[in-house]
Amino acid sequence: MLDEGERYLKTLGSSGVTDSYCIEAADGRRLVLKVLRLANVDRWKAVELFEREAEVLQNLDHPGIPAYVDFRTDIEDLAESDETGAVTLTVRREWVPGESMQSRLDASTPRPVLDAAELGDFLGEGLNILAYLHSQNPPVVHRDVTPEHWIAAPEGGLKLVGFGSLQSMLPQTRGGSTFVGTRGYIPVEQMMGRAVPASDLYGLAATAVHMVTGQHPGDLVSSDETGTLRTHLEEAEVNSGHISLLESMLEPQPGERPPDAKAAKRRLDESAALAEASNYDIALIDTPPPEKVDARVDASSESDEIRLTLPREGYSTKQWIFSAAGMLVGIGFTASYTLAGSWVIAASMGAVFLWGFLKTMRAVVGTNRLAFDGSTLESKGRILGHSGQWSMEDVDAIDWGRDEDDRSFYCVDLEVDGSTHTIASRLSRPRAVWLADFLQRLRTRRLPDDTRTL
């Protein structure tokens, strides 16, 4: 099986169907030679998976994935061969030096091999590699994202190997594809032979949990005790943003996980940006509101807080009439009684005028202004607006509904210790919905997928 000038170095392992060797090419490069002997095959599916691995690898080009060299088979000579044992399929690919995450786990279990500060880098690198696979057309699903297949390269960075289980397209039939993968690192849909890109996210998250807690993911994720996973992650001092991301990637239903690695990476970046905004001097988080929702979200370089401004919608026709009438009556009576010398009545009418004027100004230039410093939300009223300050830990709920002052509009309320506090009013329904959702995500340190971090 070796070409002229190639040299056998060592045996890497055997799966019972395939054998892997480390060889040296004629040009001095180290390669992995993976061999499937037809004599060892009891199901033709193994041959299909081997050919699929070669087909997919030759179209991939990413620094985190071993480079493909070639694929060879003499299977077409099967009819002419007297010995089926002589029929082989071989794949040559780049040799990836370094230590697998599984080796580190085996050496340290039950102690963790990754601390909380390193977790973000591991997830970021892993998601970048998976995002490349999932961006292929059709998406490439690895299906065996485990510690054994993550290699820490000597020069730094991660490499993903173990492509013998991949599928080069999403299932197109009701029956799906064959079940493959390592138990404890695969979700329910993959056990049923219906792997999707979100299935790889489950494997990456399970690997991360194993490495940062020292506990096998099968013991934590499947535990009957509520909160077991979160408790172990908190004990490992994992920050809340990473915990929320890992929990979402380990959701039992694929529809409740991020749809692919790109979306998960965006969540990871956004949680880092939000944590930075509450701890450092300068951070700009730009969360685009829906179309036609005029709002501004920025951060102060001086006060280390996120500030949000939404203009009020203005008045309904009824309110405009009342305000205009109040100003006209106030002006008329003020002028007449001033000339007549009755200052008491003039002052009363002046108050009517002032009320109408302020109400009108509130409708025209009034804004809802909020500030968030990572733990406290402050409502800063402007022109008869709402003012107050609340710790996010004390907030039981954030909700939106009809504005009690004018039911033509909507408001956003906080529920704190059984009391309701309005923090923004006179909003259109889209603005109220967006604001309540945005504040809820700030409260739980999870931003929507369309958030851009600058």
Residues forming beta bridges with residue 307, ordered by sequence position: 298, 371
Residues of the chain with pLDDT under 50: 168-179, 277-294, 299-302, 446-454
DSSP code per residue over 183-233: TTSS-HHHHTT---HHHHHHHHHHHHHHHHHSS-HHHHHT-SSTTHHHHHH
Distance CA 284, CA 385 (A): 26
- Cβ neighbors of 253 (< 8 A, separation 6 or more) are none
Q: Alpha helix locations (H) across 341-450?
A: 343-365, 429-444
The DSSP letter of residue 113 is S
Classify each residue of 110-135 as buried b or exposed e, where b means 16 or more C-beta atoms within 10 Å of its C-beta: eebbbebeebbebbebbbbbbbbbbe
Over residues 151-162, the pLDDT tens digits come to 998 888 899 988
Predicted confidence (pLDDT) per residue in 45-90, tens digit: 778 778 877 888 888 899 999 888 888 886 665 555 555 556 788 8
- In the prediction, which pLDDT does 127 show? 96
Q: Which residues contact 297 (CB under 8 A, 6 or more apart)?
A: 285, 286, 287, 306, 307, 308, 438
- 18 forms beta bridges with 36
Model pLDDT, residue 287? 41
Q: From CA 102, how far away is CA 346, in angstroms rounded?
A: 86
User: How far is CA 228 from each of CA 72, 182, 193, 243, 311, rounded to the nearest angstrom?
Assistant: 48, 22, 28, 12, 44
* Other Cβ atoms closer than 10 A to 413: 21
The answer to whether residues 443 and 412 touch, using CB atoms and an 8 Å cutoff, is no
Is 143:190 a contact under the CB 8 Å cutoff? yes
Which pLDDT score is estimated for 451? Answer: 41
Helix (H) or strand (E) holding 7: strand 7-14
- Calculate the CA dihedral of residues 124, 125, 126, 132 and round it to 10 degrees: 100
For the packed helices 116-134 and 261-279, what is the interaxial angle rounded to 10 degrees?
Answer: 150
